[in-house]
Structure 1
Amino acid sequence: MKLIVFGLTVSSAWGNGHATLWRGLCRAMAERGHHVVFFERDVPYYRAHRDLTALPGGQLVLFDAWSTVEARAAGELADADVAMVTSYCPDARAATDLVLAAPRAKRVFYDLDTPVTLARLQRGEVVEYIGPDGLAGFDLVLSYTGGRALTALKDELGARQVAPLYGHVDPAVHRPAAAIARYRSDLSYLGTYAADRQAGVADLLVEPARRHPDRRFLIGGAQYPADFPWGPNIHFSHHVVPEEHPAFFSSSRLTLNVTRAAMAEMGWCPSGRVFEATACGAAVLSDDWAGLDAFYRPGTEILIARDADDVCAAMDLTDTELQRIAEAGRDRTLTDHTAARRLDALERILADLPGCASAVGVRQPELSAEP
């Protein structure tokens, strides 16, 4: 199939969770003979941190202003099978108008930020990537989040047909790597600073570090404020570049996942970092949220921490016990949570849309959206 995407970014993995997901999905699509054309506004922020300039097996179209690319976009849509607009696309409203007028393509909106979208709506804020008519004009709305978020997309934004398309990992990119001395730690955490994640980081990393001054803790990320409560045994690596993520995860005895508040409250919204870390063979310790046990078996494939006591208990496990969890988590990820598995799901979902079945491959089973 030919898929046209109007998205936030695929060219820069700096400070966003979209790019890595799209790269994995596009690679999987190219391997199956699908063709992706990704339209991305060339904003200064991502231009300064660009780490991909061409889309393997597809086309990356960078543009300065919508007016300069609208005619080309319309031309690409003329023979497209699927046309997709994503959350946080800077030109989402203009792209939506073009997509809804497409002559033959199935019209899809993919919200990779559903909990944030719904939380902003509930606060009465304007969601700039959704027009005044909501999502009613699309044939399909995909959501990075399952569970009750799917009902909310129908009730609050008028989506006619919804389906989850969860995060994933590209095992060709995220895999076990040699440890690096500067990333060695007893407990690591990789994530950009977020105010609504700070309470979890304080409870699940800062407090355990205070209790265990003899152990080494490591945070990798960006945008951490000057008043962050650093301790003498909490080390910092500013913005771990994507190509070093495998080494970061592989160098830690245990790595922590802390979910943003809106995602944790909504549930059924696994962080891409969980898939990446497990694929790299790391033992993952995560905060808890509804639906987590549909992705990994707690205590067997992943460890759960609700407070500092749970973190300290996990850190006291033997290397053999942690290795067993790491291996089981990696096996689960490679079986159920790769980009290829999500493409199975996307093909299955699209095959159910009238007139689209001939453009996609074999339908495969996938995670349900609800317990």
Structure 2
Amino acid sequence: MRVAFYGSSLVSAYWNGAATYYRGLLRALASRGYEITFYEPDVYDRQKHRDIDPPAWCKVVVYEGSVPALKRAAAQAAGADIVVKASGVGFEDDLLLKEVMAAARPTALKIFWDVDAPATLAILRALPDHPLRRALSSLDLVLTYGGGDPVVRSYRAIGARECIPVYNALDPQTHHPVAPDPRFAADLAFLGNRLPDREARVQDFFLEPASKLPDRRLLLGGAGWHDKPLPGSVTYIGHVPTADHNAFNTTPKAVLNISRASMAENGFSPATRVFEAAGAGACLITDAWEGIELFLKPGEEVLVARDGRDVADLMCSLSAVDAKQIGQRALSRVLGEHTYSHRAADVDRIFRRRVQNPEAAE
């Protein structure tokens, strides 16, 4: 089956947290015989910061960030059996949804794929006349990056025919254990861009505990933190390219996951970094959120912190041996249950059932 997928970027992870998700899932679908074309706009300097070449398993079409170019790209949806418009494309999202779905054949499966459901739903609740909200009833399906039952119920309540979560996962070809790299030597490391929806939680879960751990080495990676006051125990290293993520996760004693506020409040929303870290065999400490046990077992495969004090206490009691064992158990769990091959098998069933019977529901 031919898939036309309109998203933020496949070839660049620059200010594009969905890149890992797209790459892992679409590569796994391609291995199942799907012919995929990924359409992405040339915006936010992403094309200047490509971290992969266009892959053999997916055709990538980059279009200029202009309305005429958008319309030309959207028209190509007419040749697909499955048409996907993702959230957060980054250029004229509402117009893109309208143009893509108008171009799609009547028999095509029409999908909105939300890679930030809590944020999207907050907007849709506040704006009953939002173009996406008006379009929901005409779409066959909403797929989401996560969110569990709360997101499913919310989407159904505002008009979606059906909503199914497709969670993040591990791509073992991309994220795996590697040799330690001295550049990333640390007791605790956190990697994440500076975002309004995350900054207060980074302060609480990383910077505050860092101030209580003056004799430890803490590492902060990600864009935008250059002018943020940091405790003396924290070293800021800026943007970390995707190619270095394995070493960043493998080298420190432990790595920290801090969910954005909306994701933490909703629950059931593991970040891609959770699976990247587990796939590298890292000892992961995550902020607490509902549903973590569906993916990793607290206390055995992941350490869970309710606040910054918990983070500091965990770091004071965590031995190198225990950290290694936690990381190995996490790696075994995600390889056995949470790879993109597992997710693609689920998506394949969803697609095929609906292409054969558009009225089908899970």
Question: TM-score normalized by structure 2?
Answer: 0.91
Q: Which structure 2 residues correspond to residues 226-237 of structure 1 after superposition, within 5 A? A: 226=227, 228-237=228-237
What SS is found at the alignment partner of 2:265?
helix
2:123 corresponds to which residue? 120
Determine which of 106, 110, 113 is the counterpart of 1:110.
113
The one-letter code of the counterpart of 2:118 is P
C-alpha separation in 2, matches of 1:147 and 1:338: 21
Most deviating of 179-188 and 40-49: 40-49
Counterpart for residue 264 of structure 2: 264
Superposed CA deviations along residues 126-169 of structure 1, whole A, max 9, x for unmatched, are 86xx436141111010011222111111212x110110011122
Correspondence for 1:152: 154
Amino acid at match of 1:230: L
Matched, 1:74 2:75: yes
In the TM superposition, residue 91 of structure 1 has moved relative to its aligned partner by 4.3
Percent of counterpart pairs with the same letter? Answer: 35
- Partner of 2:167, secondary structure, is coil
Describe the superposition over 1:17-48 as per-residue Cα deviations: whole angstroms up to 9, x where unpaired: 11121111222122222111011111252122
Q: C-alpha deviations, 1:223-263, integer Å up to 9, x for none?
A: 1252x231111001110011000000111100000000001
Contact kept, 8 Å, 2:192 with 2:222, in 1: the verdict is yes
How many matched pairs? 353
Query: Relative to structure 2, which stretch is displaced further, 246-255 or 338-347?
Result: 338-347
Q: Which moved more, 1:173-182 or 1:87-96?
A: 87-96
Q: Secondary structure at the match of 2:334?
A: helix
Could you say which residue in structure 2 is the equivalent of 1:46? 46
Relative to structure 1, the CA distance from residue 214 to residue 118 in structure 2 (aligned partners, 3 Å threshold; closer, same or farther) is: same
Residue number in structure 2 paired with 1:284: 284
- SS in structure 1 opposite 2:36? strand
TM-score with structure 1 setting the length = 0.89
Whether contact under 8 Å (1:100, 1:138) holds in the other structure is: no
For residues 213 and 94 of structure 1, the distance between their equivalents in structure 2, rounded to whole angstroms, comes to 51
Residue 196 of structure 1 is matched in structure 2 by 197
Q: Return the alpha-carbon distance in structure 1 between the equivalents of residues 196 and 94 of structure 2.
A: 28
Asked if 1:169 is matched to 2:189, the reply is no
Structure 2: state its 5+ residue gaps. Answer: none
The change in CA–CA distance for 1:354 and 1:244 in structure 2 (over 3 A counts) is closer
Structure 2 letter corresponding to 1:207: E
Structure 1's unaligned 5+ residue stretches are 358-367
Question: Is contact 1:175–1:246 with CA below 8 Å preserved after alignment?
Answer: yes
Conservation of the 8 A alpha-carbon contact between 1:30 and 1:56:
no
The 8 Å contact of residues 205 and 308 in structure 2, kept in 1 or not, is answered as yes
Q: 89-98 or 279-288, which moves further after superposition?
A: 89-98
One-letter code aligned to 1:22: Y
CA distance, structure 2, for counterparts of residue 181 and residue 198 of structure 1: 27
Residue identity in the other structure for 1:113: D
Is the CA contact (8 Å cut-off) linking 2:77 and 2:104 kept in structure 1?
A: no
Matched, 1:96 2:97: yes
- CA gap of 1:203–1:68, structure 2 versus 1, over 3 A, is closer
How do 1:1-371 and structure 2 match up within 5 A? 1-64=1-64, 65-68=66-69, 70-71=71-72, 73-75=74-76, 77-78=78-79, 80-89=80-89, 90-97=91-98, 98-103=100-105, 104-124=107-127, 130-131=131-132, 133-145=134-146, 146-156=148-158, 158-224=159-225, 226=227, 228-315=228-315, 316-353=317-354, 355=356
Partner Cα separation in structure 2 for residue 67 and residue 167 of structure 1: 33
Contact kept in structure 1, 2:264 and 2:288, CA below 8 Å: yes
> C-alpha separation between the residues in 1 aligned to 2:215 and 2:69?
58
In 1, the alpha carbon distance for the partners of 2:331 and 2:347 equals 23
